[in-house]
Amino acid sequence: MDAPDVINRLQWGARPFKGQPRPLGAVQQIVVHHAGGYGAATRQEGARQVAALQKLHQGPQCNCPDIAYHFLVDSGGHIYQGRPFLGGDTLDDVPEFALGGHILNVDSHKLGICLLGCFDAEGGECCDTPTPEALDALERLLAFLCRHYGVHPADILTHRDFVPTTCPGEKLYRAVSQLRGRMVEHVA
C-alpha cells in the first residue's frame, strides 16, 4: 500500500520547530481531532489555515514548540504534514515521528490527526459536515498508518476518548467509528 500524498512542511510554509523535537516512540494509537474551525477546501487555503494553527500553537496562548498534530486534512481531501518527521523525508519512508502536543500530558505513542473544520451536531456552536473528500483522505491515511506502524483498528480513537471535550464533534466522531470498522479490511 502506497503512502497517500502529503503536503510537507516546506510546501505549506511551516515555521521552524522551537527547540529540539523529541521522539514519539512506537505508535500505539491514532487520535482524531477537529480544529474547531479553520475550514478550507483548496490546497492554498488549507496551507494558510495550517500555518495559522501553527502560529496559534506556537504563540503565547499555547506556547507549544510546534503545531500540535502530526497530520491535518482539509475538506478538499488534502493531507498536510504537521510535526516534523525524525528520519525520512516523506511518509513513504515510514519515518519515526516527533512527539505531538494534541492531548495534554498523554501524547506518548499517539499520532494526532486533525480535520480542519468544526463538526459539532446540528444546532451546536459550529456544524460543518465532514466532506467525502476529507473522509476518503482520512481513510487512506489511517489505512497506511495502521498497516505500516502496526496500529490495530480498535486503537483509532478520538480526543474525547481521553478527556472531557466535544472534540472531534459529533459528526466526525460518528464517521471515525465507521472508518474504524472499515480499517479491518485495509490491514488484513
pLDDT in tens, 122-181: 666 677 899 999 999 999 999 999 999 999 999 999 999 999 988 899 999 999 999 998
Beta strand segments in 56-100, E? 71-73, 79-81, 85-86, 96-97
Q: What is the mean pLDDT of the chain?
A: 92
Q: Are 119 and 109 in contact (CB under 8 A)?
A: no
Name the nearest CA neighbour of 83 among 9, 151, 143, 139. Answer: 9
173, exposed or middle or buried, with CB in 10 Å at 0-12, 13-18, 19+?
buried
Domain assignment present for 2: no
Domain assignment present for 12: no
Name the nearest CA neighbour of 98 among 17, 7, 35. Answer: 17
Specify the pLDDT at position 127: 76
pTM of the model: 0.94
Domain assignment present for 19: no
Domain assignment present for 90: yes
Residues 89, 102, 25, 172, CA torsion sign = negative
Q: Domain of 135?
A: 24-187
List the CATH number of the domain containing 51.
3.40.80.10
The mean pLDDT value for 97-107 works out to 85
Name the nearest CA neighbour of 31 among 85, 143, 109. Answer: 109
Specify the pLDDT at position 106: 78
**Is the pLDDT score of 105 beyond 90?**
no
What DSSP element (H or E) covers 49?
helix 43-58
CA 118 to chain centre: 14
Number of separate domains in the chain: 1
**Is the pLDDT score of 90 beyond 80?**
yes
Specify the pLDDT at position 89: 84
Domain assignment present for 60: yes
Specify the pLDDT at position 123: 66
**Is the pLDDT score of 103 beyond 90?**
no
